């Protein structure tokens, strides 16, 4: 059943996104100090065409890596968008350039065959996971909960791409609330290459002059549990609290804040803020109390303000300093 689920997810167009090298470089440059002496695993990529493999193999000596391992799912072909039609998969291990240069040599990157199909939940892929210190990849969005749960189970550090809506998953939000997971540096309209069979009528979908199809997503972000400088940047607050500008909810003892930039600097009570707050969240400045998930905080309904339901809010308090 697990294999069928992953296969179905891979066939789903919403999972078949190919991350661009500039987007990987823009994010990972903020984690350089974490990689020295570490084994990195990219377990949702075809290593022969993956830009994650490209980034780490070409920066292997610069980052001071110990080993790079990459795996793919049901593929033995050099194809950007695998049809996942092989019962077996391959993985690569790279331990650096032995000829004195900084460019990977093909002969030093041996292709190794897995006994199974490369499902990240399979026993042999879990054994590869156990070897890793840091996992970096773009996992299937439809299996995001299960993928993160596995990383947590094996106590792995990670930098992964996910849909921003994953913030509202109860399993993911609990990790955020407990400071076991947070947003990475970048929160942007990342453009992904998509397969030739991808079809969608959207302003965020287009085809370039070469015929390559693209999909831009405005709600994509990086998730990590590695500490970076951004996590300690203090949000500059300038607005003063007034009851008129910050009304309380009809059904919960908290004030409503419509924009993160408008969080009052002199209010230390409970506040409801947009989920975009997490992009600015500093645990030394704020405490996360909960999430409007229509069950726990609001007891069956969303936050009402003057009789109108609002979109989801993160419930926070400002720490006294």
Task: Identify whether residues 36 and 121 lie together within a single domain.
Answer: yes
Give CA 149 to chain center in angstroms: 13
Q: Do residues 159 and 25 share a domain?
A: yes
Residue after which a domain boundary falls, among 209, 230, 251: 230
Q: How far is Cα 21 from Cα 137, in angstroms, rounded to an integer?
A: 12
Question: Based on the domain organization, do 225 and 239 belong to the same domain?
Answer: no
- For residues 103 and 44, state if they share a domain: yes
Report the pLDDT value the prediction gives residue 132, as an integer from 0 to 100: 97
Indicate if 203 and 289 belong to the same structural domain: no
Q: Mean pLDDT by 10-residue block, N- to C-terminus, for the chain (321 residues)? A: 41 56 91 97 76 91 94 52 54 83 68 84 94 94 93 97 89 96 77 59 62 63 95 96 93 90 96 93 96 52 63 89 72
Partners of 67 in the β-ladder: 39
Which of 212, 230, 248 is the endpoint of a domain?
230
* Residues 282, 270: Cα–Cα separation, whole Å: 16
- Are residues 135 and 269 both part of a single domain? no
Structural contact between residues 181 and 159, judged by C-beta atoms closer than 8 angstroms: no
Within 10 A of 300 (CB to CB), how many other CB atoms are there? 8
For residue 250, the model assigns a pLDDT of: 81
Q: Please tell me whether residues 129 and 258 are part of one structural domain.
A: no
- The count of domains in the chain is 2
Nearest Cα to Cα of residue 283 among 237, 238, 250, 316: 316
Range of the domain at 302: 233-318
Question: Within this chain, do residues 273 and 137 fall inside the same structural domain, yes or no?
Answer: no
Check whether residue 44 and residue 158 sit in a common domain: yes
Distance between CA atoms of residues 189 and 185, nearest Å: 13
Q: What is the CATH number of the domain that holds 139?
A: 3.40.50
Q: For the whole model, what pTM was predicted?
A: 0.81
């Amino acid at each position: 059943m697990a294999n069928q689920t992953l296969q179905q997810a891979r066939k789903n167009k919403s999972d078949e996104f190919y991350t661009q090298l500039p987007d990987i470089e823009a994010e990972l440059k903020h984690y350089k100090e974490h990689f020295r002496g570490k084994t990195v695993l990219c377990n949702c990529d075809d290593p022969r065409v993956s830009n994650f493999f490209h980034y780490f193999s070409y920066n292997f000596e610069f980052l001071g890596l110990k080993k790079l391992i990459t795996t793919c799912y049901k593929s033995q072909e050099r194809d950007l968008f695998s049809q996942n039609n092989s019962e077996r998969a391959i993985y690569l291990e790279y331990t650096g350039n032995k000829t004195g240069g900084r460019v990977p040599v093909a002969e030093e990157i041996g292709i190794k065959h897995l006994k199974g199909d490369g499902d990240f939940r399979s026993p042999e892929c879990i054994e590869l996971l156990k070897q890793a210190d840091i996992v970096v990849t773009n996992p299937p969005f439809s299996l995001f909960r299960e993928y993160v749960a596995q990383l947590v189970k094996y106590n792995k550090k990670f930098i992964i791409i996910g849909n921003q809506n994953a913030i509202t998953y109860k399993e993911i939000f609990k990790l955020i609330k407990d400071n076991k997971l947070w947003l990475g540096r970048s929160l942007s309209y990342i453009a992904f290459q998509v397969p030739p069979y991808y079809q969608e009528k959207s302003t965020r979908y287009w085809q370039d002059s070469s015929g390559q199809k693209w999909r831009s997503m405005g709600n994509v972000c990086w998730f990590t549990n590695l500490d970076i400088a951004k996590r300690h940047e203090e949000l500059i607050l300038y607005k003063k609290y007034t009851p008129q500008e910050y009304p309380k909810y009809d059904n919960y003892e908290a004030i409503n804040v419509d924009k993160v930039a408008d969080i009052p600097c002199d209010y230390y009570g409970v506040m409801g803020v947009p989920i975009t707050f997490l992009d600015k969240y500093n645990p030394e400045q704020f405490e996360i109390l909960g999430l409007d998930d229509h069950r726990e905080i609001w007891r069956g309904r969303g936050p009402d303000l003057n009789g109108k339901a609002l979109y989801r809010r993160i419930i926070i308090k400002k720490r006294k300093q």
